[in-house]
Amino acid sequence: MRPARALRMASADSSPGPTPLLSAVTATPLTRARVERLAARAVAGFSWVFGLQVVPVIVDQSPHLNPVYTAVVASVLFATLGWLGVASVIGRTVQASALSFCAAYVLALATWPADMTDVAFFEGVRPWLWYLLTVATACAALAMPFVWAAVYTLLVPALYAVVLVLSAGPEAVRTALLDGVYAVVFASILLAITTMLRQAASQVDARQSAALERYEVAVRAHALEAERVEVDAIVHDSVLTTLLSAAGARTPESMAIAASMAQDALRHLDTSAPLAHPGRSLDAIPVSRLRDRIISAARSFTVPFSIVPRAGRDALLPVAAAEALYSATVQAMVNSAQHAGGVLVRRRLRVEATAEGGVIVEIGDDGAGFDMERIPPERLGLEVSIKERVALAGGEASIVSVPGTGTTVRLQWRPRREEAVE
């Protein structure tokens, strides 16, 4: 390698790439998914602490209650609490289990007077459902939107106060008011803390997405700069060699050789002008190199991606197509990390060259999923960042998602006959 080219190549190789930026962006300690996971486990643990405390109260009050009714109500409430505990661990159906407990508790509270067989016993005695009131409001803060959780926080303690007064008599008015106010204050504080954490995490997610967009631009600029330096080095060597040969040409044969070298140098100059040919790719890269870049990006996320083993074949694809596939893949992984669920969701990644010289990239998970028809038009993450970006590079993108089952994003690029890279 000549000194000039070696110097240029060393400059290109030593230039700092944007990889550390991705690591810094995605290694954030606070995300919406993480907040939801921690909130679910905290509410589940809190619910079981209060639930175990109510068991002795149920045993103590059972002689004065309808045994069948008490057994059914207690079984339903504790079954939904068990569901919530399991859901908080596996990271799925948390909202459904919490909403089920909220609904079951309201129904049990509304029918409480029918459960009492000894009304006199409950004069001045709190019913055992009181000990689960804060559990119900905590589940509402976890599973409901803010407005509905606030309504639930106000109405359910009020319903408890009314039921207590109706069952225990006017003497229980003071106790009912104090219990209701306590429940409202406790639930309001919990709802405020949960809402603030969610808002903070959503801001972090938004900034992470913006940083990843900037990273994509930096990656593209870095790749183009490295490509330009490489081409400049080749052109420099070719032109310099041609000039030296022309300067030393003394015979017709050496002049003919110099002329041939000059034509070759002109061809290099023509291919080194990408602005004059916007649709032409400067070079091609192997699918294995694209796969390594995608895997490097996947490993920088806070959620794990399972890498499907690579097949034996390899292929070359234009830089423009590789950049589009890389950017769309990163966007799909960001969507999965933010919306599919926590670390317990299984995520997979496959990058494979096809027999016809193309490439297939597949990103899938078994997380929350979504309904494609309900995506608002202002959400451009799928249409612009994935589908349109790949389509502009001559590829295809398909997205299949089912709520509660998961999402699969499949990206494919096939070489056209006149653009096949040999």
Provide the residue type at 234 as one letter.
I
The pLDDT of residue 103: 93
Percentage of the chain modeled with pLDDT above 90: 11
The model's confidence at residue 215, banded by pLDDT at 50, 70 and 90, is confident
369 conformational bin, left if phi > 0, alpha if psi -120 to 50, beta if neither: left
Separation of first and last alpha carbons in the chain: 25
Question: For all residues of the chain together, what is the average pLDDT?
Answer: 77
**Residue 348 phi, psi (nearest 5):** -130, 155
Global pTM reads 0.48
The pLDDT tens digits of the residues spanning 100-157 come to 999 999 998 888 877 777 767 777 677 888 888 888 998 998 889 989 999 998 999 9
The pLDDT of residue 320: 82
The pLDDT of residue 86: 92
Percentage of the chain modeled with pLDDT above 70: 73
The model's confidence at residue 372, banded by pLDDT at 50, 70 and 90, is confident
The pLDDT of residue 274: 45
Give the closest residue to 126 by CA, choosing from 154, 165, 156, 73.
165
The pLDDT tens digits of the residues spanning 291-323 come to 888 888 888 777 888 888 877 778 888 888 888
3-state secondary structure of 407: strand
The pLDDT of residue 181: 87
The model's confidence at residue 363, banded by pLDDT at 50, 70 and 90, is very high
The model's confidence at residue 37, banded by pLDDT at 50, 70 and 90, is confident
The pLDDT tens digits of the residues spanning 5-30 come to 443 444 444 444 444 444 444 444 56
The pLDDT of residue 319: 83
The pLDDT of residue 234: 61
Strand 347-353 with 359-365, pairing: antiparallel
- Most confident of the following: 48-52, 94-98, 337-341: 94-98
**Domain locations in the chain as residue ranges:** 32-205, 281-422
Sequence-distant (≥ 6) Cβ neighbours of residue 184 within 8 angstroms: 153, 154, 157
Among 194-203, 266-275, 391-400, the range scoring the smallest mean pLDDT is 266-275
Residue written as tokens 């589908």?
387
The pLDDT of residue 381: 57
The pLDDT tens digits of the residues spanning 321-338 come to 888 888 888 888 888 888
Query: How many whole angstroms separate alpha carbon 102 and alpha carbon 95?
Result: 11
Report residue 260 as tokens. 């041939």
CATH code for the structural domain at 281-422: 3.30.565.10
Please determine, for residue 231, whether its predicted confidence score (pLDDT) is greater than 50.
Answer: yes
Give the closest residue to 386 by CA, choosing from 416, 363, 354, 369.
363
The model's confidence at residue 32, banded by pLDDT at 50, 70 and 90, is confident
Among 66-70, 100-104, 186-190, 238-242, the range scoring the smallest mean pLDDT is 238-242
The pLDDT tens digits of the residues spanning 242-290 come to 666 666 666 776 666 666 666 666 655 555 544 334 444 446 788 888 8
Please determine, for residue 2, whether its predicted confidence score (pLDDT) is greater than 50.
Answer: no
Query: How many whole angstroms separate alpha carbon 101 and alpha carbon 138?
Result: 10
